[in-house]
Amino acid sequence: MKTYLWRITMKRFVKFVLLPLLLVTTLPVSGHAELVPGKVAPDFSLQDVYGRDHTLSAMKEHSLIVLYFFDTESSSSLEGLLALNSLKKRFADTDLLIWGITTSGKARVSDFIVEHEPAFPVMLDSGEISGLYQAQVVLPTTCILGPGLKIIDYFQGGGQSTEQLLVTLAERELQRDNLDVALAISSDVQEKNPENLKAKTIYGYAALKADKVDEAENVFRDLAETGGEGDVLGSEGLVAVYARKGETKKAMALADKVEKKAPDRGYVNVIKGDILYSQDKKKAAEAEYRKAVEKPEGEPFQKAVAFNQLGRLYAGLENYQQARQLYDQAVDIDPYYIEAMSNKGVAFQKEGNLEQALASYRQAMSVNRNDTFAAILARKAQELIDLQRDTARKKRIDALVKELAQRFHRQQKPFPFFSSDDTWTSRPMVVSFVDFQEKGGLSERDGMSLVLTSRLSDLLSQSGRVRVVERALMEELLSELNLGSSELADPETALKLGRILAARIVSTGSLLFLPDSTLLNLRLIDTETTAISRVLTRKMTPDAGDVEDASAWLNRQILETIIRKYPLRGFVVQVSGGEVMINLGSGQGVVPGTRFAILEEGEPIKYRGRTLRGAPKRIGELEVVRVEQDLSFARIVDSRRTPARDDKVQELPAELAMKGGKE
């Protein structure tokens, strides 16, 4: 395997490092260091015409920066500058950073600004920075910087170079998931040059990623009809479209044809691998992924996916070291590939290496600070690191885990919350989560179950109505019991875990990865009755941002189920004026605003010689205004008589409270 990975690395080194380096070294030099792709760009500070300072090293939070060296009197410079200006004005809210840099005189620059009103700063250079970036002889010169201020693209000249610059920006925005920008730029290029195959290809993949499947199909079909290279690029895109639509036979058949026409291109092998994996043909899938990473040709975003998917497969086999090597190679090819970055973190975390896991998650967040997925993983990793550093708390959890493990093996009853015989007063509602079982295809991103259960646990805990078993405790317990995903898929095992943790509800479920979406199925199981309290199903998009929406929806549905099926019950302790004290507090899930019905035992009913208990009558309603740990204070909203000590109270769902407690 080491020889195999070395061979791949050398091929990639030649294509992605050595060739660009040879191109750069043909540029005129002026005694300055060469500009090498993958290296950090030389730092500098310049002033614009208004005297404001701009320092490159202060712009690290931007993951895409365009340094455009130009001359105000050059028509070729003006073409690219106006294209960039139009782009920045159309998409002002993106974090694309553009700096214009010129050695033209201040008066000419001022006139230029008045005439064209650039949406980005134009800086005055004495010639030193232009020399540093080898932009003195040929103008315009464009240097594109990626994450960490590393050089990723370099262009000189106008005309075709300007078109190439725009196509490259479209591709970079596709890689960054800024799909509207990618679509707009590639569309503009096609309008000016309908023969630009790469612009059309990028437009098709951006449309497919934006879930515009029919539009993508039309674009790729038109491209395939152009013949030659267009036939290969278009057919390759159609394979992706058919796979996305679930038309696997058509996808596989066309993939075979593309492979014969273009045997050095590997993207269709990635798609074939995904299809085979979803059919549980993992060995065959691995063979296709291997072909994909070995083949030399393909767009960077396609090659990166190949390395990532092979890494995902190895991670599933618990071969985490090889998986991380492949993830690194994916990021080397595509510096915006946050999926591979966070996947590397998950691989570290599964081995217990939390510090390096956190570093990987933060790397992904530095590229896209709005990525919910990486943010949740980073927060959870930090919590586990903090736990390890808190020796006293760690010692308490370790002792508890030992005790719980013994109870699991002996099937002892859970620790009691109360020692009283009170069967009416509610105990704390405790919920435990067991990670979702993952089925179907090989998702591009690892850790979906961890992210969903972590975010959902946070939301439920924040509600105050529910206690959630700490994930740190659950992970330690699973490790102690040596329970893996296959054992946890058994509902009986999940119930046994829930019982020893004193959880009233255990949440289990599955994630079914489909070509166009993920189907989430969640079951709430009552540990006392083993009945399924509710089944929740939701279709999720591949977009990581949908995790937040899905978690919020699940949170609402679970809370609604708990309030309806497990309403809080307690007693009136005392009444003072218009304020009523009840024997429930934050420990049982009471929050300010919670409403309770005041109940009175119904009159006994005699029937055929038997005396039956009458149904309780609602005689009033309370609204909690103040909460302590084990007590609450409520105002009387409605009452047919003055509440009295030992009156029963029962929680009202929010919608019933609004209707006065009436169904």
* Per-residue confidence (pLDDT) for residue 262, from 0 to 100: 97
- pLDDT band at residue 33, thresholds of 50, 70 and 90? low
Superfamily of structural domain 392-565: TolB, N-terminal domain (3.40.50.10070)
CB 92 within 8 A of CB 119: yes
Ramachandran category for residue 609: left, alpha or beta (phi over 0 → left; psi -120 to 50 → alpha): left
- CA 238 to chain centroid: 27
Residue whose C-alpha is closest to residue 378's, from 368, 363, 388: 363
Q: How far apart are CA 118 and CA 77, in angstroms?
A: 14
Of the chain, the percentage scoring pLDDT greater than 90 comes to: 70
- Residue 161, pLDDT score: 86
Distance CA 511, CA 630 (A): 38
Tell me the C-alpha distance between 589 and 426, whole Å.
Answer: 9
**Rounded Cα distance, 149 and 58, in Å:** 10
Inter-residue contact 241 to 221 (CB < 8 Å): no
**Confidence class of residue 394 from pLDDT cuts 50, 70 and 90?**
confident
Question: Could you give the percent of the chain with pLDDT greater than 70?
Answer: 91
**Most confident region among 269-278, 364-373, 382-391 by mean pLDDT:** 269-278
- Smallest CA-to-CA distance from 251 within 233, 230, 274 is with 274
If you average pLDDT over residues 197-216, what whole number do you get?
A: 97
Question: Between β-strands 122-124 and 97-102, what pairing exists: parallel, antiparallel or unpaired?
Answer: parallel
Is 652 a residue whose pLDDT tops 50?
A: yes
Looking at residue 28, its pLDDT comes to 38
User: Which CA distances in Å does 514 have to 273, 280, 289, 305, 327?
Assistant: 14, 13, 18, 17, 22
508 has a pLDDT exceeding 80: yes
**CATH 3.40.30.10 region(s) of the chain?**
32-158
For residue 386, report the phi and psi dihedrals to the nearest 5 degrees: -60, -40
CA distance 37 to 109: 30
**Comparison of pLDDT for 217 and 402, the residue scoring more:** 217
More confident residue, 498 or 57: 57
Which pLDDT score, from 0 to 100, does residue 26 have?
33
Using one digit for the tens of pLDDT, what is the confidence trace for 303-318? 999 999 999 999 999 9
Q: Which has more confidence, 498 or 179?
A: 179
* Least confident window among 260-264, 480-484, 527-531, 630-634: 480-484
What is the pLDDT, as a whole number, of residue 183?
Answer: 97
**Residue 498, both tokens:** 């829930």
The mean pLDDT value for 519-527 works out to 93
| CA-to-CA dists, residue 428 to 133, 219, 247, 416, 567, angstroms | 65, 57, 49, 11, 11
CB distance 268 to 255 below 8 Å? yes
CATH 3.40.50.10070 in the chain, residue ranges: 392-565
pLDDT at 419: 45
The pLDDT of residue 585 is above 90: yes
Over 50: is that where the pLDDT of 120 sits?
Answer: yes
Category of 486 on φ-ψ map: left (φ > 0), alpha (ψ -120 to 50) or beta? alpha
Model pLDDT, residue 16: 42
Q: What would the pLDDT profile of 544-575 be if each residue is shown by its tens digit? A: 668 889 999 999 999 999 999 999 999 999 99
Q: How far is CA 157 from the centre of its chain?
A: 39
* Token pair recorded at residue 380: 């959870």
**Spatial separation of the C-alpha atoms in residues 438 and 451, rounded to whole Å:** 13
| pLDDT on residue 359 | 98
**Between 77 and 306, the higher pLDDT residue:** 306
Confidence of residue 412 (pLDDT cuts 50, 70, 90): low
| pLDDT tens string 233-289 | 999 999 999 999 999 999 999 999 999 999 999 999 999 999 999 999 999 999 999
Other Cβ atoms less than 10 A from the Cβ of 543: the count is 15
Helices (H), 489-646: 491-500, 546-565
The span from the CA of 608 to the CA of 643, in Å, is 34
pLDDT of residue 24: 37
Per-residue pLDDT at 475? 82
Please say whether the beta carbons of 35 and 154 come within 8 A.
Answer: yes
pLDDT digits (tens, 9 = 90+) for 428-452: 899 999 888 899 999 999 999 999 9
- CA–CA dist 623, 283 (Å, integer): 61
Q: The CATH number of 32-158 is which of 2.40.50.140, 1.10.530.10, 3.40.50.11540, 3.40.30.10?
A: 3.40.30.10
Return d(Cα 41, Cα 135) in angstroms, integer.
14
Those residues with Cβ within 8 angstroms of residue 171's Cβ, 6 or more apart along the chain or in another chain: 182, 198, 202, 299, 300, 301
Q: Reduced to 3 states, what is the DSSP secondary structure of residue 269?
A: helix
Instruction: Please confirm whether the linkage preceding 567 is cis (ω < 30° from 0).
Output: no
- Three-state SS annotation for 555-578: HHHHHHHHHHHCCCEEEEEEEECC
Whether the pLDDT of residue 14 is over 50: the answer is: no
What is this structure's pTM?
0.86
pLDDT at 317 (0 to 100) = 95
Give pLDDT tens digits for 607-627: 777 877 767 889 999 999 999
The span from the CA of 306 to the CA of 131, in Å, is 39
Per-residue pLDDT, 545: 64
DSSP code per residue over 172-220: HHHHTT-HHHHHHHHHHHHHH-TT-HHHHHHHHHHHHHTT-HHHHHHHH
Q: In angstroms, rounded to a whole number, what is the distance separating the alpha carbons of residues 71 and 507?
A: 64
Q: Is 277 left (phi over 0), alpha (psi -120 to 50) or beta?
A: alpha
The class of domain 569-658 in CATH terms is mainly beta
Closest among 182, 179, 156 to 74, alpha carbons compared: 156
Which residues, in sequence order, are CB contacts of 48 under 8 Å at separation 6+? 54, 121, 122, 123, 124
Output the CA–CA distances (angstroms, integers) from residue 293 to 194, 289, 346, 636, in the order listed.
Answer: 31, 6, 22, 70
Q: 3-class DSSP state for residue 402?
A: helix
**Rounded to an integer, what distance in angstroms lies between the CA atom of residue 372 and that of residue 567?**
33
Mean pLDDT of the residues in the chain:
89
Q: What angle do CA 27, 130, 114 make, to 5 degrees?
A: 130
Amino acid 331 reads V
What pLDDT was estimated at residue 655? 53
Q: Quote the pLDDT of residue 289.
A: 98
Residue 357 pLDDT exceeds 70: yes
**Rounded distance between C-alpha atoms, residue 414 and residue 427, angstroms:** 13
Nearest-CA neighbor of 357 among 342, 370, 375, 373? 342
